[in-house]
Structure 1
Amino acid sequence: MSIKVNQEICIGCQTCALMCPEIFEIQDNGKAHAINQLVNECANNAKDNCPVNAISID
């Protein structure tokens, strides 16, 4: 499985990075990026809590 953040949709709210700093970080452009492909409960919660549904787990 892989975790992806759609850069065109991400608004940089930091919800995912605050919930799962071991999986997501905010890049210099202010948008989130998956730095770890560990699909766990935290990653799923971050996906579910993204206000613009920019996170996908395939």
Structure 2
Amino acid sequence: MPTPVVDYDLCVGCGSCVEICPEVFELRDDKAWVIGPDKCNTCDCQQAADLCPAQAIKLE
């Protein structure tokens, strides 16, 4: 299973990833953080990456 990675320099803190995958991402200091990299099976991490307006989320 791919693991999500956030590029903090690109992240604008919009929170769309948190809305899609709250068990995987959370906002801290206006940036998205990966809190559950092994929980992509509970949501659609690819959709979270695709909808990121700053393209700050990659699946590796």
TM-score, normalised to structure 1, is 0.87
Matches of 1:3 and 1:45, distance apart in 2: 11
Structure 2: runs of 5 or more not aligned: none
Q: Quote the residue 1:30 is aligned against.
A: 30
RMSD of the alignment, in Å? 1.2
Q: How many residues align?
A: 57
User: Aligned partners of 1:22, 1:16: CA distance in 2, in Å?
Assistant: 10
- Among all aligned residue pairs of Structure 1 and Structure 2, give the percentage whose two residues are the same amino acid: 35
Runs of 4+ in 1 over 4 A off after TM superposition: none
From 45, 48, 58, the equivalent of 2:47 is 45
Structure 1 gap ranges (5+): none
